């Protein structure tokens, strides 16, 4: 809890005037509420989204609810490594530095589909795309006085089946809607912890932290199956409010990870009421498996090989216009809402 022993809220965060935050997938849902909370505390907020029209609507929405806020947009498709590189180039051109990067964009693929670079969509968007974006922006973040990278995890970490399978990271042999999604989020949190190790080893002032929003009433699963559609029916949703919360409430964990000055590297935040599904953000145990140094090093090497982006925190980031060499497989459209 916060030092006052009261539940933490974004109002407890220090003033963020003069600081710049980039939030991926921030045109709707949790990402939009994270961006709104950052703007409320005075940060300049960059909405990094795939859907430009939706991003413009979100920008106007935040500016209307938070008068005087400084909100901007940048195009990025996290499921397309060339788009990630172009986004990084633009941000280097337009921003003197980045104080906060929130890797929020995500997808739950209903069937096994591929990104434009040939990666399984969950793994490619939830993990690989953000690995590449973080690598390409690392110099802007580590140059900030107190840079911070926030990885967004999931309640699914607790599943035994969520453990990384290095022999089938992209679910080529076995695809399961929730299993594949859960493993992609475990990969994200393994990256979060390994990034903190490497930042600390490099003597960087920047830190890497994680958070999960709990059970949130969002649209990410709404069209995935008959069972889930039933779960979103009006009757069931009335009961579900006991164990789910609004996107605004779910965003609080991510905002605490992003803004609380007491947060330390590799800290992991989420609600702790009703099986961890609802409630104010608290410091939680690191997701199972994410703290294994061997797994962290192995996953890091695989990510560098697949994305073609070398990443050494503390060193100069790869040039934003550097060629992307990680494409594997045929070019097919990614699915899901990773905007």
Catalytic residue positions? 181
What is the Cα–Cα distance from 339 to 336, expressed in whole angstroms?
Answer: 9
41 and 71 in contact (C-beta within 8 Å)? Answer: no
C-alpha closest to that of 304 among 197, 191, 172? 191
Q: Dihedral sign for Cα 121, 293, 297, 103, please.
A: positive
Contacts of 284 (CB under 8 A, 6+ apart): 268, 269, 270, 272, 276
User: Could you give the 3-state DSSP secondary structure of residue 216?
Assistant: strand
What is the Cα–Cα distance from 44 to 38, expressed in whole angstroms?
Answer: 8
Q: Taking the C-alpha atoms of 107, 228, 210 and 39 in order, what is their torsion angle to the nearest 10 degrees?
A: 80
C-alpha closest to that of 124 among 193, 78, 190, 173? 78
For the record, the structure tokens of 306 come out as 């697949």
State the number of CA atoms in the 13 A half-sphere of 219 facing the CB.
8
What is the Cα–Cα distance from 27 to 39, expressed in whole angstroms?
Answer: 14
Q: At what angle do helices 81-94 and 129-142 cross, to 10 degrees?
A: 20
């Amino acid at each position: 809890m916060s030092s006052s022993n009261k539940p933490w809220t974004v109002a407890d965060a220090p003033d963020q005037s003069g600081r710049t935050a980039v939030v991926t997938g921030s045109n709707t849902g949790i990402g939009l509420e994270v961006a709104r909370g950052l703007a409320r505390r005075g940060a300049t907020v960059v909405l990094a989204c795939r859907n430009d029209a939706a991003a413009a609507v979100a920008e106007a929405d935040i500016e209307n609810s938070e008068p005087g806020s400084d909100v901007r947009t940048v195009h990025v498709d996290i499921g397309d490594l060339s788009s990630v590189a172009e986004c990084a180039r633009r941000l280097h051109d337009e921003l003197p530095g980045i104080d906060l990067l929130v890797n929020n964009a995500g997808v739950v693929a209903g069937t096994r589909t591929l990104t434009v670079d040939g990666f399984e969509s969950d793994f490619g968007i939830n993990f690989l795309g953000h690995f590449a974006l973080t690598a390409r922006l690392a110099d802007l973040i580590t140059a900030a006085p107190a840079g911070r990278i926030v990885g967004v995890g999931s309640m699914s970490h607790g599943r035994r089946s969520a453990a990384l399978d290095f022999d089938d990271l992209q679910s080529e042999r076995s695809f399961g809607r929730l299993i594949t999604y859960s493993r992609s989020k475990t990969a994200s949190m393994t990256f979060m912890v390994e990034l903190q190790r490497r930042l600390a080893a490099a003597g960087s002032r920047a830190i890497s932290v994680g958070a999960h929003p709990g059970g949130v009433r969002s649209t990410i699963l709404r069209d995935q199956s008959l069972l889930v559609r039933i779960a979103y029916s009006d009757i069931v949703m009335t009961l579900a409010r006991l164990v789910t919360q609004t996107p605004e409430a779910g965003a609080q964990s991510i905002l605490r990870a992003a803004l609380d000055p007491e947060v330390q590297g590799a800290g992991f935040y989420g609600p702790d009421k009703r099986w961890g599904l609802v409630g104010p953000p608290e410091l939680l145990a690191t997701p199972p498996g994410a703290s294994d140094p061997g797994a962290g090093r192995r996953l890091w090497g695989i990510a560098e090989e697949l994305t073609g982006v070398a990443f050494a925190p503390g060193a100069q980031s790869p040039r934003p216009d550097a060629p992307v060499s990680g494409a594997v497989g045929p070019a097919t459209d990614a699915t899901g809402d990773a905007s």
